[in-house]
Amino acid sequence: MGFYTTVNEEYEKADEAKQVVDKFNEDVNLDGLLNDMAKTLIACGNDFWLKITPERLTELHRLPIDAIEKSREATFEQI
């Protein structure tokens, strides 16, 4: 169970980039978050996560599904 990451071997810093991503995934327990998210998605059709530091992704927190009253789609320019 779980997921794995891949990397474009042609990228100059491929090994370093993969290590950074894998370390982040381990630090925030992304595998566990994704498992929990699947349950909420099946039951409610959506799941919401909060980035604590928007300019640098270092922490993820799941919001209770009943904490969201309304959501709207954002474009990349808005993010």
pLDDT tens digits, 19-54: 999 998 888 888 888 888 888 889 888 888 877 776
Inform me whether the pLDDT recorded for 11 exceeds 80.
Answer: yes
Residue 41: partners with Cβ closer than 8 Å, 6 or more residues away: 47
Answer whether 1's CB lies under 8 Å from 35's CB.
Answer: yes
Inform me whether the pLDDT recorded for 18 exceeds 90.
Answer: yes
Identify which of 78, 79, 37 has the alpha carbon closest to the alpha carbon of residue 61: 37
End-to-end CA distance of the chain: 31
Residue spans of the domains in the chain: they are 14-67
Tell me if residue 46 falls in helix, strand or coil: coil
- In this prediction the pTM is 0.62
